[in-house]
């Protein structure tokens, strides 16, 4: 099969539901849009998810933009199984093999009933200090685990974004689900890393693949109930407390050390460390884990007290591929993928749409050029405890989400790439050292991005971006003045500890290079720029400058005619 359409081609199609969808109800619907009037697509795995309102009801429509073998057969089997076992934890759905037409081609969709509620991530973000709410959540997860295990069913990707909380738990996204009758060991995905065994693979697909996730969630929630402060310290928006980096090396993990320091959790924390070191097939059920049964033989010893710095820093393993917000080519190649974008805010635009709705743009470069940014429309602002303002210029942030298609304005000479923030847990303010640690993980095996094939190549070519060095791309011409000199200067100044100099290719890396040694972080209300000698210059926060507006005065030719008429009148006298 030829390459799937790009996200912008899907967006263009679904803007007209009457011609895009084959489903009678969806054809009469309206797709949810952003402040520019473009469809909002939420991404993850193989599909783009659109919200469609039709006939007084709301639906989540999953459009598949990546190839996945046996999709129709799997969904047929899943549908049959959920009907037979009942669906207290599931939502109704319908697989349509040619449910959407893009460029004249019929493509599969899953039309899902809308499930109201907060995502697990948003729910915990708002209530991690509410011991009663967390305690109730622990009970609900244990009931869910018992139910799924009794039916021989496994979801395959239990995580913050795939569980809704509204009085009870609801599971969404069934792309990787196992139900009886599907072939064991033939998975198509391995789940979000912060909730999965560090050695999980597609071969672990089957009825037991949720065991590790339930154990990690249960232990993390119990820790929050005892010490809610752990959430602020260890949550990155895509986890609860523990991350893939912790599972990969529990002995070096500060999070494991903190959990082990809680007396009621010490035994279970030690046991989870042994589970991480063993094979995925050795993971016990949640019931056995809580009873201390069927734990793999001891391999790892957690002896480091909490608060004692590990002699080796754990490598960063993100939930999604990491991209540098100032590497336009790298971000462009990720269009249509869910990523973690790291960067330092250069400009903050606070304004209202023509309909009077507030919005905020967080720009990682000057607006008039090729720049990545974060879009926060009115719905997203409502989810934030505090809306960003101009004082955020100079802050480093991490934001996760789907990279939207490029927005080009040839008149004013700019092209913007963006991630749209819809939930508070998508974004975190981080410091320079953490930004450096995460950016250094780019291109390593733990963070390799699944390619979207050639689908984005036409966009890359149109914007003048060519691949260099395999997976990396850079724009032909930098849109930020002075950056090449700053990069070159920083390149000469920062040794990597082995007598050589690391390759520095982006503005973020140049800034991070200058932070080595005794450098201190600039105040959050200032900007930082590298001078030609590599020194740091503290600047006042940059101010967003709107595009130039046309002069609304009287055109010159009108003045000329008026003067001519006046001269004729005077001459006639």
Homologous superfamily of domain range 322-478: Nucleic acid-binding proteins (2.40.50.140)
Q: Tokens in use for 244? A: 């893939």
Torsion of CA 309, 311, 313, 314, to 10 degrees: -100
Q: Is 262 exposed, middle or buried (0-12, 13-18, 19+ CB in 10 A)?
A: middle
What is d(CA 27, CA 381) in angstroms, rounded to the nearest whole number?
A: 30
In contact, 396 and 431? CB cutoff 8 Å: yes
Q: Tokens in use for 168? A: 């009870």
Cβ neighbours of residue 354 under 8 Å, at least 6 residues apart?
none
Q: pTM for the whole thing? A: 0.76
Mean pLDDT check: name the lowest of 223-232, 405-414, 501-510: 501-510
Question: Rounded to the nearest 5°, which phi and psi values hold at 273?
Answer: -60, -40
In contact, 322 and 442? CB cutoff 8 Å: yes
pLDDT tens-place string over residues 193-230: 999 999 999 999 999 999 999 999 999 999 999 999 99
The total of other beta-carbon atoms located within 10 Å of residue 57's CB is 11
In contact, 276 and 250? CB cutoff 8 Å: yes
What is d(CA 108, CA 99) in angstroms, rounded to the nearest whole number?
A: 5
- Residue 316: name the closest of 246, 262, 376 by CA: 246
pLDDT tens-place string over residues 292-327: 999 999 887 787 666 665 556 678 999 999 999 999
Cβ neighbours of residue 213 under 8 Å, at least 6 residues apart?
158, 159, 191, 195, 196
CATH assignment of 7-113, given 3.30.110, 1.10.20, 3.40.50, 3.30.200? Answer: 3.30.200
Secondary structure class of 499 (helix, strand, coil): coil
pLDDT tens-place string over residues 32-85: 998 888 899 987 678 899 999 998 999 999 998 887 778 888 998 999 899 888
pLDDT tens-place string over residues 360-407: 999 999 999 999 999 999 999 999 999 999 999 999 999 999 999 999
The separation between CA 519 and the C-alpha centre of its own chain, rounded to angstroms, equals: 30
In contact, 416 and 386? CB cutoff 8 Å: no
pLDDT for 257 equals 95
In contact, 348 and 389? CB cutoff 8 Å: yes
Element holding 381 (H helix, E strand): helix 378-383
pLDDT tens-place string over residues 524-559: 333 333 333 333 333 333 333 333 443 445 556 555
Q: What is the mean pLDDT of residues 152-157?
A: 97
Question: Structural domain boundaries of the chain?
Answer: 7-113, 119-291, 322-478
The separation between CA 464 and the C-alpha centre of its own chain, rounded to angstroms, equals: 26
The total of other beta-carbon atoms located within 10 Å of residue 503's CB is 11
pLDDT for 393 equals 97
Asked if CATH classification 1.20.1250.20 holds for the domain at 119-291, the reply, yes or no, is: no
Query: Distances in Å between the alpha carbon of 199 and those of 165, 243, 316?
Result: 29, 14, 16
What is d(CA 32, CA 439) in angstroms, rounded to the nearest whole number?
A: 33
């Amino acid at each position: 099969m030829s390459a799937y359409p790009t996200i912008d081609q899907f967006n263009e199609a679904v803007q007209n539901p009457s011609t895009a969808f084959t489903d009678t109800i969806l054809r009469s619907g309206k797709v949810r849009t952003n402040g520019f009037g473009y469809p909002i697509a939420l991404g993850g795995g193989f599909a783009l998810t659109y919200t469609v309102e039709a006939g007084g009801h709301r639906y989540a429509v999953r459009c598949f933009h990546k190839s996945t073998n046996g999709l129709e057969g799997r969904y047929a089997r899943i549908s049959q199984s959920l009907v037979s076992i009942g669906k207290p934890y599931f939502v109704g759905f319908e697989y349509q093999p040619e449910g959407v037409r893009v460029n004249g081609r019929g493509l599969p969709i899953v039309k899902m009933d809308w499930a109201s509620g907060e995502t697990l991530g948003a729910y915990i973000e708002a209530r991690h200090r509410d011991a009663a709410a967390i305690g109730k959540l622990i009970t609900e997860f244990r009931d869910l685990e018992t139910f799924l295990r009794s039916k021989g069913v496994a979801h395959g990707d239990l995580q913050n974004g795939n569980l809704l909380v509204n009085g009870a738990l609801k599971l969404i996204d069934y792309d990787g689900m196992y139900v009886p009758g599907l072939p064991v060991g033939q998975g198509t995905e391995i789940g979000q890393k912060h909730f999965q065994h560090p050695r999980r693979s597609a071969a672990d697909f089957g009825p037991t693949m949720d065991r590790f996730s339930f154990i990690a969630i249960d232990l993390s929630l119990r820790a929050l109930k005892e010490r809610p402060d752990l959430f602020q310290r260890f949550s990155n928006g895509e986890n609860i407390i523990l991350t893939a980096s912790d599972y990969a090396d529990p002995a070096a993990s500060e999070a494991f050390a903190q959990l082990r320091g809680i007396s009621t959790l010490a035994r279970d924390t030690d046991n989870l460390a042994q589970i991480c070191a063993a094979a995925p097939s050795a993971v016990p059920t949640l019931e056995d884990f809580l009873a201390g049964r069927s734990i793999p033989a001891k391999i790892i010893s957690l002896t480091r007290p909490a608060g004692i710095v590990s002699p080796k820093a754990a490598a960063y393993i993100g939930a999604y591929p990491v991209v540098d917000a100032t590497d336009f080519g790298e971000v462009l190649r990720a269009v249509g993928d869910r990523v973690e974008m790291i960067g330092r805010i250069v400009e903050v635009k606070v304004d209202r749409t023509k309909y009077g709705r507030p919005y905020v743009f967080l720009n990682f470069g000057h607006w008039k050029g090729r720049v990545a940014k974060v879009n926060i429309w009115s719905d997203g602002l409502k989810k934030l405890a505090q809306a960003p303002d101009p004082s955020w210029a100079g802050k480093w942030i991490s934001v996760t989400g789907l990279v939207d298609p490029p927005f080009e304005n040839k008149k004013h000479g700019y092209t913007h790439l963006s991630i749209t923030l819809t939930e508070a847990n998508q974004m975190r303010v981080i410091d320079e050292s953490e930004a450096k640690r995460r950016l250094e993980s780019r291109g390593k095996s733990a963070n390799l991005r699944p390619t979207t094939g050639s689908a984005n190549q036409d966009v890359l070519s149109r914007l003048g971006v060519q691949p260099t060095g395999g997976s990396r791309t850079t724009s032909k011409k930098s849109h930020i003045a002075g950056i090449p000199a700053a990069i070159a200067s920083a390149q000469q100044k920062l040794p990597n500890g082995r007598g050589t100099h690391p390759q520095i290719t982006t503005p973020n890396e140049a800034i991070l290079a200058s932070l080595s040694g005794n450098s201190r972080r600039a105040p959050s209300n200032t900007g930082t720029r590298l001078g030609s000698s590599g020194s740091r210059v503290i600047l006042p926060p940059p101010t967003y400058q709107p595009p130039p507006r046309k002069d609304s005065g009287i055109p010159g030719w009108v003045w000329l005619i008026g003067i001519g008429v006046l001269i004729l009148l005077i001459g006639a006298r």
